[in-house]
């Protein structure tokens, strides 16, 4: 096999045709503790990041949002709570979607909420169907990111917006020392004690390390034909929001 036939999976490189299945299995194993682990790993800060993500998104009642890798529903639910029109939550893993559906405590949003089990590289939607497409902490896990971005561009309406919230590269040296210690030691420990699966959280940390930094990801998004691409750092670059438009 040629080098181009391989991709990253944690610390190792694997054949590209194996990654989707491995990612799907990984999230199936952690789905029941996913939200709890997010709170523990980030000390709850991921909730503030998502609020800032939605602030920049600025939901409107005329907007239909496609939230990719959105299984547990944080972005999709809060989009509706902030006045968004319709949310379609899509995820590769059925168990993640089931976890999200269990979080609904009323029928208030049911008529404006759709759930789709699908692969982000093969979206089962018509061209120019959505006003917004978002993905939060999921782009790292996509095998062919250029294909997924092409699909996102296809299903966006002209004038539509793509937004990505993802771990990125810390740009404050003192914070970076603490962040590396937390990532390499505390997060795998929490993964073992809380979810009973240390290796999946070791994968998480390695996937962050191997993911493009803010400028590199901006270039990848521009290469998918998006315009007016910008990013905002969160918590010193631990995470970043990227935004691009289909014009």
pLDDT digits (tens, 9 = 90+) for 59-103: 999 999 999 999 899 999 999 999 999 999 999 999 999 999 988
Q: What percent of the chain has pLDDT over 90?
A: 89
Question: Which of 98-112, 113-127, 195-209, 210-224 has the lowest average pLDDT?
Answer: 98-112
Its sign, for the CA torsion 80, 47, 198, 4, is: positive
Whole-number Cα distances in Å, 157 to 2, 24, 63, 233: 37, 29, 11, 27
Residue 206: CB atoms within 10 Å: 18
> What's the CATH number where 167 sits?
3.40.50.150
pLDDT digits (tens, 9 = 90+) for 12-61: 899 999 999 999 999 999 999 999 999 999 999 999 999 999 999 999 99
- For β-strands 64-68 and 86-91, DSSP reports them as parallel
Average pLDDT, integer, range 4-11: 88
211 has a pLDDT exceeding 70: yes
Domain total of the chain: 1
Whole-number Cα distances in Å, 113 to 21, 64, 78, 196: 27, 10, 12, 32
Say what the pTM is. 0.94
Average pLDDT, integer, range 165-187: 96
Give yes or no for a contact between 229 and 222, defined as CB atoms under 8 angstroms apart.
Answer: yes
Query: Which strand ranges, in their side-by-side order, compose the sheet holding 156-167?
Result: 113-117, 86-91, 64-68, 130-136, 156-167, 239-245, 227-234
Residue 51: CB atoms within 10 Å: 12
Quote the CA–CA distance of 9 and 6 in Å, as a whole number.
Answer: 10
Confidence of residue 106 (pLDDT cuts 50, 70, 90): low
Domain that holds residue 77: 3-245
pLDDT digits (tens, 9 = 90+) for 134-174: 999 999 999 999 999 999 999 999 999 999 999 999 999 99
């Amino acid at each position: 096999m040629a080098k181009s036939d391989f991709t990253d999976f944690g610390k190792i490189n694997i054949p590209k045709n194996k990654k989707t299945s491995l990612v799907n299995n990984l999230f199936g194993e952690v789905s029941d503790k996913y939200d709890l682990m997010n709170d523990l790993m980030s000390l709850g800060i991921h909730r503030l990041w998502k609020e800032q993500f939605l602030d920049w998104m600025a939901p409107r009642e005329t907007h239909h949002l496609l939230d990719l890798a959105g299984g547990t529903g944080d972005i999709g639910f809060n989009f509706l709570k902030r006045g968004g029109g319709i949310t379609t939550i899509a995820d590769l893993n059925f168990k993640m979607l089931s976890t999200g559906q269990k979080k609904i405590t009323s029928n208030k949003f049911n008529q404006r909420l759709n759930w789709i089990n699908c692969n982000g590289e093969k979206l089962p939607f018509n061209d120019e169907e959505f006003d917004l497409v978002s993905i939060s902490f999921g782009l790292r896990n996509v095998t062919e990111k250029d294909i997924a971005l092409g699909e996102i561009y296809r299903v966006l309406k002209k004038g539509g917006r793509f937004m990505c919230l993802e771990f990125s590269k810390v740009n404050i040296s003192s914070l970076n020392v603490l962040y590396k210690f937390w990532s390499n030691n505390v997060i795998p420990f929490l993964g073992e004690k809380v979810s009973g699966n240390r290796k999946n959280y070791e994968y998480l940390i390695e996937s962050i390390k191997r993911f493009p930094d803010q400028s590199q990801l901006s270039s990848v998004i521009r290469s998918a034909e998006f315009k007016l691409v910008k990013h905002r750092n969160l918590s010193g670059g631990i995470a970043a929001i990227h935004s691009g438009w289909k014009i």
